[in-house]
Chains A and B, each alone.
Chain A
C-alpha cells in the first residue's frame, strides 16, 4: 500500500486543531478521499478539491500577476484596510502581517470569537490549563461544560479520552457532561467509560460553575443552578475534590449567553479553586483553520494578539473595536484569507474586497479580486497549531493542482504596493 503513490498514510489533518496525524487519504479522480476515519470534517475538507481555476478581477479571468497588481492597487489606495480571515498556515500569517504592517491595517481571524472569550479571561485573571496528551494520559475525571465540543472536534473522545490513562494507577476515567448532551457518534467512542449527563440550561453554564465553586468547601451546602438540582451539584463537587487530575473542557465558541467570556471566567475560577485541594486544569478548545497559530504568530511578532490595528504604526489591540465583523463597516478595503475552506462571509457593498480562497468558493457578490489558493496540508506543506496552543505541526502537501500558497500571493501583493503606501 505504502508504495502506491495514490495512497497517503499517516496524513496530518490541519483543519480542526486536534492535530490528528493518522489519516489514510486516497487520491482518486476528482479529488481526495479519507479512508481511515468517519470524521465528518476531515472527510468533507479533503474531498473538496476541485481543479485549479484562474484568478479573477471584477469577474474576469486574469493571470496571477494581474490579480496581485489589482489587489495591491485597491489596498494601497485604502485608508482603513482590514486584513482578516487569516485562515492560513504560519507562513501565510507571517506574510499577512508583513502586508498589514505596510498598509497600517486591522488584523483578525475569521473564527476568533471563541478564542477571544478565552483570551479575555487569560488576560484579566490568568488560568490553569492543560494539553491534549495530559488529558489522555492523566485525566481521571473529564468535565465537559456546555454544548458538546465534539461538534467542532469530532475525534476528541476517540483520540484523547477513550484510551486508558497511561500515567494513573489505577487507570480509571469518567466523563461528565454538564449543561450539554453528548452527540451520538462522539458518544459511541465513550462506550467503555462511565458517562454522566447533567442536563441544564446551556445559557447558564457560568451559574453552574459558580455553584460548584461555592460548594467545594462544603458540598453538603450546595445549591442548584441552571435546572440542575443541589444534590447533583453536591455530588459533582465531591467528585471534583476526589479526582486525582480533573480536566474541565469547553468550546467557548458554542456558548450562547451574552458576554460569554464571563462564563469562561467562572469555569476558570472553578478550576482554580479545585486546585486548592487536588489537581485540576482547564482545556479551552478553539482551533479551527489555524486560529491558534494565527494568534501565536501575531502575539510573538506584534506583542499583542489578533484584533489589533497597525493603523497608527504601533500595534494596538482592542478585542471589541478590531473584531473583524465590527470593523468591516469601518474598513474601506478588505483582504480576506480563507485557504482552509471555500466559504467567505457576505461583505457590505461599496468597498473593494480581495479574496484568497480555494477554487470553487461561492460568492454572494463577486469580489473585486479573487485569487484561488492552495490549502495547507493538501496542496503544499504548512505549519499549523493544535487547539491546546502548545503543539505546532507540519502538514505535508498531497497533490499538485498548480495553486499558489497564501504566502506567495501576499508577498507578491506586498511587493506590488505603490511605494507611498508605506504607512508603517
Chain B
C-alpha cells in the first residue's frame, strides 16, 4: 500500500529540511522516495499548513523494570485516584507518575512519541525489564545496561585487567542482556553503600575492591569506545542533588579525556554552593564546558512542579534524600551484586526556593547549551516530573513570555539567584525537531529512526501549528507508527506492538570462562541461564539490531 502525506511543512533536521513544504510517501511501513507522477497512492492525507516531524524519541525515561514496579506499589494512592477504565481499543491501567504499561504506551503515542528508552536496566533485572517493555503498546523501547557497581567488573578492575578484558566483559553483558547502551550510575558509589559508606569521592578508593570511581568511569568509557557502541557512556554522575556537585560533573567531563560521554539528568548535577543559601546554579559553568567540548552530550532532567516519585539505582543518593520523601515512605534495595534501587516519592513545590531554583537551573541549561544536537529534552521521568509534562516544557523553551510569567509565580527570591530572566533565547520548531527526533536517533545509533528520508521507518507525527506550543504538542493531529495510523486528534485509534532496539558488539568470548566461574561461585546462577535468548524478546518478533563500529566514535 502506498500512502501520500501531501503538502505538509516538513521539519526533518537530519535531512536538512526546516519547514520545507513537500510530500512524503510511505510504503510497507517505510518512507520511500517520490514514486513519480505515474504512481497512484492508495491513501492520501492533505497536510497543507500542518507541521510534520518524525515520531519523537525519549532517550531517558524510567518506563519498566523492578524499580518502576516498586514505584507503582508505593504510589498506591495515585493508582486509586487515577485508575483508568478500558475503552476500545485501549485496555485498562492507570496513573501519571507511575503509569501502567498500557498507559505508558498510549500517553507517549498521544504526544507523538514513537520510542522511549529505559535508561537503567540492571543485569539481574534485564529479563524482567524486557518482559515488561513487551507489554508497553505502540512505542519502540530498549534498555541501557547499568554497569559500574557490579562486583564482577570491580573484581576484574582490581585484578589489573586491561582495557581489552574489560571491553570483552562489557560486550558479553550487553549481548546477554539484549541492551542498547551502557549506563553508569554513581560508579562505585552504590557498591560502597553496601559497605555503609554514604559518600565516595571521585578519587577515593572504594571499600573492598579498592577501585576509585574515576577508574570505573574511564574504564567503561573506553570499553564503549573500543566496542564501537553508538551511544556514548550514559553517565548518572556523582553526588546527585548535593549542592556543590557541579565540581564532580566538570571533573567527569575532564576524566574521559576526549572520549564521548553523555551526562544524564545534568540538572541534578549542576549545583553550586554560592550565595546566602549555599545552594546556587552552576548551569552557566556546565553549559560553557559542554559548549566547548563536542564529545559531551547531556539530557536535562527538568523538574516540573507537583507530585511525582523518584526511582533510581543510586541507593547512596536516594538514602540521603529519603528524609524528604512525600508521602513519608520509601524503598531501598541492594540488588544482586549489580547495583540497587531507591524509590522515594517526592513533591516539587513551586513556592519552595530549592525546587524553584532546580526548575530554573534546568531551563538555564536548555537555553545556554547552544547545540540542539547535544542536549535532549527529558524530565528523567518520573524523577523530575512525569513525561506527560513535555508539552508544557516545550512551551517554556519556545515562549519567553510564558517562561517569565511562570517564573513570576515562583518563590520570590528566585530572580536574584538565576539569570533565567535575562535569557532571551526561544527554541524554534526546527530545534525542537532536532532535540526530540533527529538528535536522539543519531546519538543512539538508530539509523532508520528520527528522520523522514527514504528508508526511514514511517514513524511520523503531524501537528497543527498553534501559537500555544503546549496545546500543539499535547495533541498531534495524526501519529503514524511504522506507517500505520495509531493516533488521530490525540486519541489512540489502533493498538500495536513496538520493537526492541539492541546492539550486539563483537567481543572475545574467552572472557566467558572467567565469567561462567564467577556466575557459579557468586551469583548462584549459570551464565547460560542469565543470557536472554532472542525468542524471549517479544516472542522472537521485534528485535532491531543496530551496528557497532569499533573505534569510530
Q: Do B85 and A122 touch across chains, with their CB atoms under 8 A apart?
A: no
Q: Is A213 an interface residue (CB 8 A)?
A: no
B66 contacts across to A, CB distance below 8 A = 389-390
Q: Is A166 an interface residue (CB 8 A)?
A: yes
Q: Which of B332-363 touch A at CB < 8 Å?
A: 332-337, 343
A163 contacts across to B, CB distance below 8 A = 521
Q: Which residue of B lies closest to A102 (CB)?
A: B86
Residue among A124, A301, A392 having the largest count of chain B Cβ atoms under 10 Å: A392
Q: Is B435 an interface residue (CB 8 A)?
A: no
Q: Do B69 and A299 touch across chains, with their CB atoms under 8 A apart?
A: yes
Q: Do B329 and A124 touch across chains, with their CB atoms under 8 A apart?
A: yes
Query: With A101-B86, A160-B524 known to touch, is A131 a contact of B529 (CB < 8 Å)?
Result: no
CB proximity of B88 to chain A, nearest CB, Å: 8
CB proximity of A284 to chain B, nearest CB, Å: 11
Q: Do B334 and A136 touch across chains, with their CB atoms under 8 A apart?
A: no
Across the interface, B333 reaches (CB within 8 A) one of A128, A166, A302, A303, namely A128
Q: Do B83 and A300 touch across chains, with their CB atoms under 8 A apart?
A: no
B529 contacts across to A, CB distance below 8 A = 10, 12, 21, 393-394
Q: Is A134 an interface residue (CB 8 A)?
A: yes
B94 contacts across to A, CB distance below 8 A = 302-304, 314-315
Residue among B86, B135, B536 having the largest count of chain A Cβ atoms under 10 Å: B86
Q: Do A392 and B128 touch across chains, with their CB atoms under 8 A apart?
A: yes
Query: With A169-B208, A301-B135, A391-B125 known to touch, is A134 a contact of B337 (CB < 8 Å)?
Result: yes
Q: A343-373 toward B: CB 8 Å interface, digit per residue (1/0)?
A: 0000000000000000000000000000000
B92 contacts across to A, CB distance below 8 A = 101, 302, 310, 313-315, 424
Query: With A296-B69, A392-B131 known to touch, is A279 a contact of B526 (CB < 8 Å)?
Result: no
Q: Do A244 and B335 touch across chains, with their CB atoms under 8 A apart?
A: no
Bound CA span A310–B83, Å:
11
Q: Do B73 and A299 touch across chains, with their CB atoms under 8 A apart?
A: yes
A133 contacts across to B, CB distance below 8 A = 124, 336-337, 522-525
Bound CA span A297–B536, Å:
16
CB proximity of B442 to chain A, nearest CB, Å: 31
B84 contacts across to A, CB distance below 8 A = 314
Residue among A303, A314, A424 having the largest count of chain B Cβ atoms under 10 Å: A303
Across the interface, A159 reaches (CB within 8 A) one of B76, B101, B193, B524, namely B524
Q: Is A385 an interface residue (CB 8 A)?
A: yes
Q: Do A127 and B100 touch across chains, with their CB atoms under 8 A apart?
A: no
CB proximity of B246 to chain A, nearest CB, Å: 29
Across the interface, B196 reaches (CB within 8 A) one of A131, A167, A244, namely A244
Q: Is B514 an interface residue (CB 8 A)?
A: no
Query: With A303-B83, A391-B124 known to touch, is A130 a contact of B333 (CB < 8 Å)?
Result: yes
Q: Interface residues of A: mostly helix, strand, loop or mixed? A: mixed
Q: Do A125 and B329 touch across chains, with their CB atoms under 8 A apart?
A: yes
Q: Do B196 and A279 touch across chains, with their CB atoms under 8 A apart?
A: yes
Query: With A133-B523, A303-B79 known to touch, is A392 a contact of B333 (CB < 8 Å)?
Result: no
Residue among A22, A134, A305 having the largest count of chain B Cβ atoms under 10 Å: A134
Q: Do A299 and B72 touch across chains, with their CB atoms under 8 A apart?
A: yes
Q: Is A194 an interface residue (CB 8 A)?
A: no
Q: Which of A229-249 touch B at CB < 8 Å?
A: 244-245
Q: Is A203 an interface residue (CB 8 A)?
A: no
A128 contacts across to B, CB distance below 8 A = 331-333
Across the interface, B332 reaches (CB within 8 A) one of A21, A129, A394, namely A129
Q: Which residue of A lies closest to B331 (CB)?
A: A126
Bound CA span A313–B83, Å:
9
Q: Is A383 an interface residue (CB 8 A)?
A: yes
Q: A103-143 toward B: CB 8 Å interface, digit per residue (1/0)?
A: 00000000000000001001111111111111011100000
Q: Is A256 an interface residue (CB 8 A)?
A: no
Q: Is B40 an interface residue (CB 8 A)?
A: no
Query: With A131-B336, A134-B337, A394-B533 known to touch, is A279 a contact of B329 (CB < 8 Å)?
Result: no
B127 contacts across to A, CB distance below 8 A = 383, 391-394
Q: Which of B47-82 touch A at CB < 8 Å?
A: 64, 66, 68-70, 72-74, 76, 79-80
CB proximity of B14 to chain A, nearest CB, Å: 34
B532 contacts across to A, CB distance below 8 A = 394
Q: Is A19 an interface residue (CB 8 A)?
A: yes
Chain A, interface size category, equals: 35 or more
Query: With A132-B524, A133-B337, A302-B100 known to touch, is A101 a contact of B332 (CB < 8 Å)?
Result: no
Query: With A166-B521, A166-B522, A317-B76 known to touch, is A390 a contact of B336 (CB < 8 Å)?
Result: yes
Q: Do B195 and A244 touch across chains, with their CB atoms under 8 A apart?
A: yes
Across the interface, A390 reaches (CB within 8 A) one of B91, B98, B335, namely B335
Q: Do A90 and B102 touch across chains, with their CB atoms under 8 A apart?
A: no
Bound CA span A131–B523, Å:
10
Bound CA span A10–B526, Å:
8
Question: Between A and B, how many residue pairs show CB distances below 8 Å?
Answer: 191
Q: Is A262 an interface residue (CB 8 A)?
A: no
Q: Do B85 and A313 touch across chains, with their CB atoms under 8 A apart?
A: yes
Q: Is B20 an interface residue (CB 8 A)?
A: no
A185 contacts across to B, CB distance below 8 A = none
Q: Do A134 and B194 touch across chains, with their CB atoms under 8 A apart?
A: yes
Across the interface, A301 reaches (CB within 8 A) one of B68, B102, B151, B524, namely B102
A394 contacts across to B, CB distance below 8 A = 127, 529, 532-533, 536
Q: Is A312 an interface residue (CB 8 A)?
A: yes
Bound CA span A128–B85, Å:
33
Across the interface, B337 reaches (CB within 8 A) one of A167, A281, A393, namely A167
Q: Do B85 and A303 touch across chains, with their CB atoms under 8 A apart?
A: no
Q: Is B528 an interface residue (CB 8 A)?
A: yes
Q: Which residue of B lies closest to A134 (CB)?
A: B334
B526 contacts across to A, CB distance below 8 A = 10, 21-22
Bound CA span A305–B80, Å:
12
Query: With A305-B73, A392-B131 known to touch, is A131 a contact of B334 (CB < 8 Å)?
Result: yes
Q: Do A134 and B85 touch across chains, with their CB atoms under 8 A apart?
A: no
Bound CA span A119–B529, Å:
28
Query: With A10-B526, A101-B86, A300-B135 known to touch, is A123 a contact of B100 (CB < 8 Å)?
Result: no
Bound CA span A10–B94, Å:
41
Q: Is B143 an interface residue (CB 8 A)?
A: no
Q: Do B86 and A424 touch across chains, with their CB atoms under 8 A apart?
A: yes
Q: Do B334 and A385 touch across chains, with their CB atoms under 8 A apart?
A: no
Query: With A138-B194, A300-B69 known to touch, is A312 a contact of B85 (CB < 8 Å)?
Result: yes
B72 contacts across to A, CB distance below 8 A = 299-300, 303-304
Q: Do B124 and A390 touch across chains, with their CB atoms under 8 A apart?
A: yes
B131 contacts across to A, CB distance below 8 A = 90, 297, 383, 392
Query: With A167-B151, A300-B69, A389-B66 known to touch, is A101 a contact of B91 (CB < 8 Å)?
Result: yes
A sample of 25 inter-chain contacts (CB < 8 A) reads: A123-B73, A123-B76, A128-B331, A129-B333, A129-B334, A130-B334, A131-B124, A134-B337, A136-B522, A159-B524, A279-B196, A281-B332, A281-B334, A299-B73, A300-B69, A301-B100, A303-B100, A304-B83, A312-B85, A315-B92, A385-B128, A392-B128, A392-B131, A394-B536, A424-B91
Apart from A305-B73, A391-B124: 12 A-B pairs, beta carbons within 8 A: A90-B131, A127-B331, A130-B334, A131-B124, A166-B151, A166-B521, A168-B208, A299-B72, A300-B64, A303-B83, A313-B86, A314-B94
